Chain A
Amino acid sequence: LAKTTQPISMDSYEGQEVNITCSHNNIATNDYITWYQQFPSQGPRFIIQGYKTKVTNEVASLFIPADRKSSTLSLPRVSLSDTAVYYCLVGDMTVGGYSTLTFGKGTMLLVSP
């Protein structure tokens, strides 16, 4: 699985847009980019997944440039409840799927009033 690099932590205020960037320079052709959110003492929760360009759902948007060597998770108008650790994962969904999810250290997002 491709290695990912994310900022260790980020701070924001309620109502702001937060963008978390993940670098994955050695991403392979079949790799997808997936983001998970984890609150303390809970399991990670799937946020969004994409392969290229832009993906949007009710929770977030994922921007992937043409070279796919990085991706940006965008959280619009964050609230206090968005304080969590965000993980970026890159992997080939056609081989073993989620059997060997490799989680990095993630980004600790702290949202303040």
Chain B
Amino acid sequence: SYVLTQPPSESVAPGQTARIACGGENIGSKSVHWYQQKPGQAPVLVVYDHTERPSGIPERFSGSTSGSNSGNTATLTISRVEAGDEADYYCQVWDSSTDQVVFGGGTKLTVL
């Protein structure tokens, strides 16, 4: 089965840029989606289809992929980080070969 790997935690100072990685085989060939989850709340979609932002999500949130060929790492970048960005972040893909929805293990972002 397809596996998405995220670092358990990242930390960043206010005003700086946070980058949260999501690794997976040929992830560049899949549509990657990102969710933000604050304590006690349901997740919120912040980026879909690698780079698209839903209505109401600030431009500070952006997505990208990198690596050779189709790419092995997707990245969620949060610019000008604010205290309110402190949350868990999950990447997600749909693996077409197995018709399965797959989530990464999540990354806890701490704003110092």
A and B interact: no
Residues of chain A at the chain B interface (Cβ within 8 Å): none
Residues of chain B at the chain A interface (Cβ within 8 Å): none
